[in-house]
Structure 1
């Protein structure tokens, strides 16, 4: 049983374009406030049916490559049965099957344990909803 549980809700504005938003700094700030040097787990959860959480390199083109791959796999056209919203919006509802709405990461000594080039990212292809929430929860 964990000694500690803390949670925090981030409000993120992604805009009206498909985006990969780096949340690593937000995760680190949250852990600095609540982990107090303890080991544990950080859970990142997006309570939306059209967004996901990915662990990937950012800033060197991988984030753009991910969006391009998602456009290839999930084209924004009229093939989707889910048809409300902007044209092709049904694809956004399939996204969480490929980019899950959650990730759980190790925290060692109060710090997020990521690889050298890894970042925690919100992936949002839904141009109809620019306001997102991300729940950070620490168990330690």
Structure 2
């Protein structure tokens, strides 16, 4: 009987700017091996206090719109109680309350069930931490 739970950590370089990084390819690569054609659930989790996981359209401006909306909601200024790192870094610690650090998505026949324009993305506004880990876990 095949394993029912498989997990892997992927390392993502986000650099020194705010980013929305498409993880869909990494998720699909993982599922080819882990799901092996089975139905189940994929959980994507980022174990960082300043990043989140979002499912959204990329490449048509929505990723840039998300960063702009986060700037509007959470300005990078000195209003934040949490103060270390670059100016306004305290807001980065509030981002996971708006963009959750996880998502759980259906897998059918070993493939991620996303809508036509949906992608799985890492949202990282923390310019002080250029390396991220993302845990992919398949249950099926």
> What TM-score results when the alignment is normalised by the length of structure 2?
0.98
Once residues 51 and 90 of structure 1 are traced to their aligned partners in structure 2, the CA distance between those partners, rounded to angstroms, is 12
What SS does structure 2 have at the residue aligned with 1:43? strand
Are 1:56 and 2:65 matched, yes or no? no
- Please give the residue correspondences for 1:64-103 in structure 2 after superposition, counting only pairs within 5 Å: 64-103=64-103
- After superposition, give the CA deviation of every residue in 1:92-138 in whole Å (9 maximum; x if it has no partner): 00000000000000000000000000000000000000000000000
Q: How many residues align?
A: 139
Once residues 34 and 83 of structure 1 are traced to their aligned partners in structure 2, the CA distance between those partners, rounded to angstroms, is 41
How much does 1:3 deviate?
Answer: 5.6
Once residues 94 and 76 of structure 2 are traced to their aligned partners in structure 1, the CA distance between those partners, rounded to angstroms, is 11
Once residues 97 and 55 of structure 1 are traced to their aligned partners in structure 2, the CA distance between those partners, rounded to angstroms, is 15
Paired residue for 1:43?
A: 43
Give 5+ residue unaligned stretches, structure 2.
none
Once residues 16 and 26 of structure 1 are traced to their aligned partners in structure 2, the CA distance between those partners, rounded to angstroms, is 21
Divergent runs of 4+, >3 A? none
What SS does structure 2 have at the residue aligned with 1:25? helix
Give 5+ residue unaligned stretches, structure 1.
none
